Chain A
Amino acid sequence: MKTIRTNKTLKILPMIAVLFWAGCEDLDFPDPNNPTDETATIQTLVTGAEAVMRMDLGVYLRDLLVVGREAYYLEPADPRYTGELLHGPIDPGGFLCYRPWQTAYKVIANCETIMGSANADAGAIGVAQTLHAYSLMRLVYLWDESGARLNYDGDINAAVATKAEVLAKIESLLDAGYSDLQSAESSEDNEFSFALSSGFSGFDTPAAFALFNRGLRARVAVHQDDWSAAQTALDNCSAWATSSDPDEGVYHAFSSGANDQGNEMYEDPTATTIKLVVHPTFYTDADAGDSRVSDNVVVRADTIIYDELESYLAPNLYSSSYDPVPIMRAVELQLLQAEVHIGNSDYSSAETIMNTIRTAAGVASYSGTDASNAVDRVLHEKRYSLFLEGHRLADMRHYGKTDELPIDRPDRGDTIVTFPIPETETPG
């Protein structure tokens, strides 16, 4: 139908062809924004794992602190912190539930990639297994008897692992990691082939990192009531446990650098309004003159009230948005040692450890520690020495004492909530 006859047409067609090809570019170009799997190295994977552990750390700690009645998070813009966390039920699709969960599995994804990488040396594998175990431990802290997923393939029809299974997995990861770290200590000149952040300062060689591995192992064993394994682990990190500085340890580091993060726990305690306030019982239950209270809490002139909750106590742990947050400190190991002694019915050794800590805090020593009071005493010391580090809820559960946590609004149905498995993890 379109027979073309004129000469001018013949002149125009090449013009069209030129335009045509000028407009052509390859349609199959890579993502202009982000790298792909091939770009990742052991260094970027280790750093990514360490960095992402801090993602939503604020939400994770608030969950533990509010449910464990160490603090309230009075956030008028989000009623879930004073609703769901105090009386439940926890929304399995809400951020309080899925964000801490997601963080743990992002860390695990990187650790798994390192494990499967041909470039990973023993040091890298030891670190990967230790961080993997630490992430699972965070899940146990929050999800407790609800368990967690140990299959990472996205199959939501597979059974969710029980708490005991998760603890067993942590145990085996830590032990395998420990042996890899030991082999890196001997065969790789006790040097990692990658850098760790300042949060691991002092723990950045295979031998030193192994101390952290053993500290975690002790924590897990205590939660399993496996006192002999805990003692062995504590013996293996005694260099750290006996440190004169109770703060010596491993931390989440923060900075204002590119794609880095700040400390979500920091607020100016004297600001007109603050969100994270300390549970009033932390003040009223304290022993007279306890410097762990006076150093870490500011008693405000005013009372902050929201949703029928009130407090005049502001936390004072951090002085800036870039202060590090503890992962594990020496004082925790000392208290774990006390727990092990109690578990072995050696109350006087436990009392000695607790009294050393109490003396340093300026409070009177215990005497007469026995089966009737030892657990309450060690829980008291953990509550004050590990203030706002998120151990209290797990400790109270461990000893079956959650019914001793204060309930502030019984008429509202307040209770100690349990966390459900996030809704995307199960069918339906």
Chain B
Amino acid sequence: MRILKTILIASLFVASAFAAVSGTVSDAKTDEPLVGTSVFVKGTFVGTTTDDRGTYSLDASPGDVLVVAYIGYKTQEIVVGEGVLDIALETDVLRQDEVIVTGLATTVKRRNAANAVAVVSGADLVNAPIQTLDQALSGQFAGVNVRRNTGAPGGGVNVNLRGTSTLTGSTQPLYVIDGVIINNDANQSGVDVITKSTGAGSERPQGQPTNRIGDINPNDIESIEVLKGASAAAIYGAKASNGVIIINTKRGRGGKTKFNFSTRTGQSSLLKKMGHRVFEDYTEAKDQYGANLASLGLTNSDDTTTWAGNNFDYEEILYGETGKLTEHTLSAIGGNESTQFYIGGQYMDEGGIIVNTGYKKMSGRINVSHRFSEKAKLSVSTNFIRSEADRGVTGNDNTNMTYGFSIGFTPSFIDIRDSDGDGVFPDNPTNPSNPLETAEYFVNNELTHRALGSLTFDYNLFKQANQSLSFLGVGGADFYNQENEVFIPPFLQIEESNDEPGQAVMTTTDNLNTNLSLNLVHKLKMSGMNFNTTAGLQYETYDWNSVFVHATGMIPTQTNVDKASSQSVYHDRSKRQDRGRFFQEEITVGDNIYLAFGMRGDVSSTMGNTEEYQWYPKLAASYQFGELAGIFDNLKLRFANGETGNMPQPRAKFTTLSSSNIGGINGLIPASTRGNSGIKPERTAETEFGADFSVMGGLATVEATMYTQNITDLILLVDLPASSGSLYGWENGGEMETKGTELTLGLNPTQLVSLGGLDWNFRMNYYTSESKVTKLTVDPYNFGGFATFLGTYRIEEGWSPTAIVGSETNADGSYQKLGDENPDYRISFHNSFRLGPVELAFLIDHKEGGHAINLANLIYDLGGTTADYEENGGDRLGGLGTVTQPYIESTTYTALRDISLNYTLPSSVSDRLGLGYLKVGFSGRNLWLDTDYTGLSPEVSQFGNEAVGGSVDTNPFPLSKSMYFTLSLGL
């Protein structure tokens, strides 16, 4: 496209007087002119784009074939005759002409793509307001599993493409926005240090940290493309084994400046409760809590008469806030032939369902593209974001401070409310903290400022009618500063028993990522064949710096970490330098055959050997049968094979000493984890086969894919005997295999049968993935969770890496498999209906199978408050230590992810108001969830985005359902 435009402008300069062909390109349905459509002579680089009235003119001879292409429309080929040639384009329902990314600097049309590539448009993401970008991906793609680790404001989302490919490494895909790799850190908030769940700088932070990708405003997005496996992502090399998510933000196309404004208002409320035990009479309470009920505030010990009979639903009281939402977005898009711009702004303020929780975001983006000569074009993107989340204190706890633990230990007959409303809460007699008091005064705030910038420079070095060579340089920087503030005032019940009551944590993290990518692209057209050759160099740096201060013994009324009797400080840095080089050749023969091969080499500071490049090859081919046997509109068979890597953690290669001081004297001890100076990246090799077809004029489209991944050099954090001075060591010591199938079915019934103007689109995504450890160079081991008898994961040859075991063993001492985090399959259904000005769309998401370790039930059991305590609680507890099974539960669920109903007012109304359009709508997110899982959320992960060991439920922030009203208008 770039090159086409270059040529076009050249031809306007030089050849406009000799134009033999001219005309207008318009939408076949609406007759509106299409600005910026590419029109070129087939088999050459001679071409142009339409101006802001949709007109074009170029030099072509009668008999030449013109190719007319515009995003979202079917590409048309027309033979040039004499005089004016007007062209009407039809919308591309099947999206066969959509271009998709195949390299760092090249694209291919979907009809030829050799991989199953999933694309979603920005408009589909923002039917209903969404706090974070990652949440918006949920249910949109086959093979893309989006999991909310917690319901806490600001997210904490696990995005997994095609199953498990690592045991200890990064699990999150690489995010590339406008050609630049951007940061998706999940930083420890420090709330897990306050709850003594883990220490500062833990390898396995708890408290379900947020992901920084969530900062990106979904409204700025033009499209998202997902390279799911190694075969598609090979060109991204050693960082791409979790797949790549390529995001393009909106860009101007020239023409009249268009303004869009939308405002939304709505509210959210609790989606699902645990439920609790109701104590029928005094005897039941006495049997549970002993004769000493006086200490619980029950003064009458008469077994029959004056039982208070209280039944406070503390989930309802604590999680029962109505979160209020306001969102405003404003965008402007426009420009002329040489300069185009997009400006987007967002303001969002969403309250949580627990008092003093919520999320706020402000985001501003300016994208400008300018062509300053016939050869050179510069595109600049800038984005500034401020996001803020108040997340309360939930999840795992060793102090009984978090809401879920506290409620579990508070029987419903005890009144811990602040009944006179003076802000002074009674002490909780059965638990060290009063959760209502904690919620009122606890602060867990995360504030992020972020700036992203990128610059793309496109320069045509050389061109002829049938070949061109251009240089593409992309540079980018991504800086964020994240401040986490946690504060517990000294007067809270939980703090009173401490020697130094009151705590504050201040964590400041900043990070700078830079990217530089230099590419040469050569295109050659020759007798029906196109050759695209690309070669390039990549540089990336990552420089992360975090300072954590934990203060105890706070001066009353003060929150600063220096206003305290003692402080501990933790400082952590992480630094990475990566270099890559690649070469790729893509060959298209006619419209039928596509062939690509390439190689990428990477070297990084994280590797033990920083001299030797790791090489990642790829090979891909597809054959397009076109129309076939009167049934298929088109049929394509495809094959792809490629390799990618997953980097070791930057610290993995260093064997170091830790600081352990006493009385102001510096001391050093061996670090718990021993480094490995020969550590290599993990390697994933993937083979993918697929068939795509559509039948009966687009009535149905099918994309079917099967893939196999072989993962070698798995990085393990293996147990070392503590008698050696270290507990763990890094090792490349395993192999794993992941197999999966993906099926996408699209139906457009109204294409075939007219239902009074109704347009109905249906899309189903079905996928499975199954992993197995095929080789382990160390003894099998248990990993994750808290202890074997509390449920843990088992890493053993021949087993799924996400298999869950517990105390139960067979006669020979081997572990019994009690469950598996990995589901049998997932399926989602997306429906959209349009009748005139009315649109209705909804997305249903179903997960079949999969298990979690529900320790929320254990917490309630220990407190004697589980809803089914009388029937089952005693048995569950009694067996604890020998039987874990009752705490392993299925996480099958069905959810209504989102639903929206929109009405566009007739143009007579909008015209009278001087508006381009005016639209009103209702939408809802997560309105309905059906599951047998007894905890708060079947998607829970206490350990965030860990590859293995995440599905442990210690009562996360509960999920909410939300309803919104939207008003949007354009100028």
Taking Cβ atoms with an 8 Å cutoff, the residues of A that contact B are 1-2, 4-6, 8-9, 12, 16, 19-20, 23-25, 27-37, 39-40, 43-52, 54-55, 75-80, 83-84, 87, 89, 91, 93-95, 98, 101-102, 105-106, 108-110, 148-149, 151-154, 156, 195, 197-199, 253, 255-262, 266-268, 271-274, 302-303, 305, 307, 310, 320-321, 422, 424-425, 427-428
Whether the pair A79, B880 counts as a contact (CB closer than 8 A) is: yes
What A residues does B668 contact at CB under 8 A? 35, 39-40, 44-45, 47-48, 110
Question: What mask results when residues 509 to 549 of chain B are scored 1 for a CB within 8 Å of chain A, else 0?
Answer: 00000001010101010000000010001010100000000
Whether the pair B660, A55 counts as a contact (CB closer than 8 A) is: yes
Whether the pair A109, B787 counts as a contact (CB closer than 8 A) is: no
Chain B, residue nearest A31 (CB):
B654
What A residues does B610 contact at CB under 8 A? 27-28
Whether the pair A51, B498 counts as a contact (CB closer than 8 A) is: no
What A residues does B420 contact at CB under 8 A? none
Question: What mask results when residues 847 to 876 of chain B are scored 1 for a CB within 8 Å of chain A, else 0?
Answer: 000000000001100110000000000000
In the complex, whether B458 has a CB less than 8 A from a CB of chain A is no
Chain A, residue nearest B201 (CB):
A33
Q: Which of B223-231, B261-269, B322-330, B426-434 contacts A (4 or more CB under 8 A)?
A: B426-434
Whether the pair B667, A52 counts as a contact (CB closer than 8 A) is: yes
Most buried by B among A19, A75, A259: A259
User: In whole angstroms, what is the CA distance A199 to B858 when docked?
Assistant: 41
Whether the pair B727, A102 counts as a contact (CB closer than 8 A) is: yes
Question: What mask results when residues 645 to 667 of chain B are scored 1 for a CB within 8 Å of chain A, else 0?
Answer: 00000010011111111111111
User: In whole angstroms, what is the CA distance A95 to B787 when docked?
Assistant: 8
Whether the pair A16, B661 counts as a contact (CB closer than 8 A) is: no
Most buried by B among A47, A422, A428: A47
Whether the pair B603, A27 counts as a contact (CB closer than 8 A) is: yes
In the complex, whether B774 has a CB less than 8 A from a CB of chain A is no
**Known contacts A40-B668, A197-B662, A305-B292; A271 and B496 CB within 8 A of each other:** yes
Whether the pair A27, B664 counts as a contact (CB closer than 8 A) is: no
Interface residue from B664, B722, B859 paired with A101 (Cβ < 8 Å):
B722
Question: What mask results when residues 774 to 813 of chain B are scored 1 for a CB within 8 Å of chain A, else 0?
Answer: 0000010010000111000000000000000000000000
The 29 sampled A-B contact pairs (Cβ below 8 Å) are: A4-B462, A9-B461, A9-B462, A16-B471, A16-B518, A19-B516, A27-B579, A29-B605, A34-B654, A35-B656, A39-B657, A47-B665, A47-B666, A48-B657, A48-B669, A52-B669, A55-B660, A76-B431, A80-B787, A94-B787, A109-B670, A154-B721, A199-B662, A256-B565, A258-B568, A258-B569, A262-B499, A273-B497, A305-B290
What A residues does B782 contact at CB under 8 A? 93
What B residues does A43 contact at CB under 8 A? 665-666
Whether the pair A76, B862 counts as a contact (CB closer than 8 A) is: yes
User: In whole angstroms, what is the CA distance A326 to B663 when docked?
Assistant: 16
Interface residue from A102, A106, A253, A302 paired with B662 (Cβ < 8 Å):
A253
User: In whole angstroms, what is the CA distance A67 to B794 when docked?
Assistant: 30
Minimum distance in angstroms from B542 CB to a CB of chain A? 12
User: In whole angstroms, what is the CA distance A274 to B496 when docked?
Assistant: 11
In the complex, whether B557 has a CB less than 8 A from a CB of chain A is no
Whether the pair B669, A424 counts as a contact (CB closer than 8 A) is: no
**Known contacts A19-B516, A31-B654, A47-B667; A259 and B659 CB within 8 A of each other:** yes
Whether the pair B722, A422 counts as a contact (CB closer than 8 A) is: yes
Whether the pair A320, B499 counts as a contact (CB closer than 8 A) is: yes
What A residues does B666 contact at CB under 8 A? 43-44, 47
User: In whole angstroms, what is the CA distance A31 to B654 when docked?
Assistant: 6
User: In whole angstroms, what is the CA distance A305 to B664 when docked?
Assistant: 40
User: In whole angstroms, what is the CA distance A95 to B405 when docked?
Assistant: 21
Taking Cβ atoms with an 8 Å cutoff, the residues of B that contact A are 289-290, 292, 295, 375, 397-400, 405, 409, 427-429, 431-432, 459, 461-462, 469, 471, 473, 493, 496-500, 516, 518, 520, 522, 524, 533, 537, 539, 541, 565-569, 571-575, 577, 579, 603-605, 610, 651, 654-672, 719-725, 727, 779, 782, 787-789, 858-859, 862-863, 880-881
Whether the pair A273, B431 counts as a contact (CB closer than 8 A) is: yes
User: In whole angstroms, what is the CA distance A149 to B665 when docked?
Assistant: 30
User: In whole angstroms, what is the CA distance A9 to B678 when docked?
Assistant: 41
Whether the pair B656, A34 counts as a contact (CB closer than 8 A) is: yes
Whether the pair B657, A197 counts as a contact (CB closer than 8 A) is: no
**Known contacts A5-B462, A27-B605, A34-B671; A268 and B499 CB within 8 A of each other:** yes
Additional 19 contacts, C-beta under 8 A, given A52-B669, A89-B881, A272-B432: A2-B522, A12-B471, A34-B671, A46-B667, A48-B657, A48-B669, A76-B405, A91-B788, A102-B722, A102-B727, A151-B723, A152-B725, A153-B724, A154-B723, A257-B661, A260-B664, A261-B662, A273-B497, A427-B779
Most buried by A among B493, B500, B575, B669: B669
**Known contacts A105-B724, A257-B663, A272-B427; A49 and B669 CB within 8 A of each other:** yes
Whether the pair B880, A19 counts as a contact (CB closer than 8 A) is: no
What A residues does B428 contact at CB under 8 A? 272
Interface residue from A268, A303, A427 paired with B295 (Cβ < 8 Å):
A303
Minimum distance in angstroms from B408 CB to a CB of chain A? 9
Whether the pair B522, A424 counts as a contact (CB closer than 8 A) is: no
Minimum distance in angstroms from B550 CB to a CB of chain A? 11
6 closest residue pairs by CB, A with B: A271-B497, A256-B566, A109-B725, A47-B667, A48-B667, A34-B656
What B residues does A105 contact at CB under 8 A? 722-725
What B residues does A8 contact at CB under 8 A? 375, 461
Interface residue from B405, B567, B665, B881 paired with A77 (Cβ < 8 Å):
B405
User: In whole angstroms, what is the CA distance A7 to B782 when docked?
Assistant: 64
**Known contacts A152-B723, A259-B568; A12 and B461 CB within 8 A of each other:** yes
Whether the pair B518, A19 counts as a contact (CB closer than 8 A) is: yes
Chain A, residue nearest B664 (CB):
A257
User: In whole angstroms, what is the CA distance A36 to B541 when docked?
Assistant: 24
Minimum distance in angstroms from B295 CB to a CB of chain A? 5
Whether the pair A268, B604 counts as a contact (CB closer than 8 A) is: no
Whether the pair A260, B567 counts as a contact (CB closer than 8 A) is: no
User: In whole angstroms, what is the CA distance A51 to B662 when docked?
Assistant: 5
Interface residue from A29, A149, A255 paired with B664 (Cβ < 8 Å):
A255
**Known contacts A47-B662, A51-B669; A1 and B522 CB within 8 A of each other:** yes
Interface residue from A79, A149, A257 paired with B723 (Cβ < 8 Å):
A149
Whether the pair A258, B661 counts as a contact (CB closer than 8 A) is: yes
Whether the pair A32, B429 counts as a contact (CB closer than 8 A) is: no
Interface residue from A45, A91, A274, A425 paired with B787 (Cβ < 8 Å):
A91
Whether the pair B405, A34 counts as a contact (CB closer than 8 A) is: no
Minimum distance in angstroms from B648 CB to a CB of chain A? 13
What A residues does B568 contact at CB under 8 A? 256, 258-260
What A residues does B789 contact at CB under 8 A? 91
**Known contacts A106-B725, A108-B725, A268-B498; A76 and B863 CB within 8 A of each other:** yes
Most buried by B among A87, A106, A255: A106
Whether the pair B496, A197 counts as a contact (CB closer than 8 A) is: no
Most buried by A among B462, B496, B722: B722
Minimum distance in angstroms from B795 CB to a CB of chain A? 13
**Known contacts A93-B787, A154-B724; A4 and B469 CB within 8 A of each other:** yes
Minimum distance in angstroms from B28 CB to a CB of chain A? 40
What A residues does B858 contact at CB under 8 A? 79
Chain A, residue nearest B725 (CB):
A109
**Known contacts A110-B669, A153-B724, A268-B496; A33 and B657 CB within 8 A of each other:** no
Minimum distance in angstroms from B469 CB to a CB of chain A? 6
Chain B, residue nearest A198 (CB):
B663
**Known contacts A2-B469, A48-B668; A425 and B722 CB within 8 A of each other:** yes
Chain A, residue nearest B604 (CB):
A27
Interface residue from A79, A255, A425 paired with B663 (Cβ < 8 Å):
A255
Most buried by A among B429, B565, B725: B725
User: In whole angstroms, what is the CA distance A428 to B571 when docked?
Assistant: 38
What B residues does A256 contact at CB under 8 A? 565-568
Minimum distance in angstroms from A271 CB to a CB of chain B? 3
Minimum distance in angstroms from B196 CB to a CB of chain A? 9
User: In whole angstroms, what is the CA distance A321 to B497 when docked?
Assistant: 11
Minimum distance in angstroms from A233 CB to a CB of chain B? 27
